[in-house]
Amino acid sequence: MAFDTVTHRDEPISDAALAQLFTEARTRNAWTDRPVAPELLHKLYDLTKFGPTAVNNTPARFVFLTSPEAKARLAPHMSEGNRAKTLQAPVNLIIGQDLDFPETLPRLFPHAPGAKDWFADEGARRESAFRNASLQGGYLTIAARALGLDVGPMSGFDPAGVKAEFFAGTNIEPNYIINLGYGSDENLFPRSPRLEFDEAAKIL
């Protein structure tokens, strides 16, 4: 039967995979000099793009900085505590949010021809862009770990400076920045505590 060839989506992934994605994964503050192949960055995006967003609006825009020249353009806009590790990382990724995302909805959400008009209000458009671009950044973090990469998300930067340097003349705003590569244990903090279920969640 054809059903026998279909992956059973109700079966959990292995404990080893869960460890790589979550329980043993760490935010990296230092990096080896092992390069990240451009093909891997393409694969990373091609996984990330399948994460769900509201009405498939996919507002995130990704700028991968890999050359010394590109990274040098970013470095002055990073906070002092983030600058050295940003320059050391093989890849700096700027995640932006495109406030013009409704323009792509006729193609991305074709079964609702009027979807573009749902975001005529600037406040609603900005809120949706921020929320869903942030979601896409989260998907990218998990996808990167699944591909064997380490990540170091950061919010310590000058948004106006990054906007002017990388998104001038567009309606794209920077959301946050992720360092990507193969991390080392240098400057690795002990794992911080997490809230227990009953502190952060409830079942009604």
In the chain, what are the domain boundaries?
A: 26-184
Task: Give CA–CA dist 142/17, Å, rounded.
Answer: 11
Q: Give SS3 for 181.
A: strand
- Give residue 8's pLDDT band: very low, low, confident or very high (50, 70, 90): low
Fold adopted by 26-184: NADH Oxidase (3.40.109)
pLDDT in tens, 147-183: 999 999 999 999 999 999 999 999 999 999 999 999 9
What's the pLDDT score for residue 142? 98
Quick one: which of 132, 96, 131, 101 has its CA closest to 119? Answer: 101
Q: What would the pLDDT profile of 45-75 be if each residue is shown by its tens digit? A: 999 999 999 999 999 999 999 999 999 999 9
Residue 5: its pLDDT value, please?
Answer: 54
pTM of the prediction?
Answer: 0.93
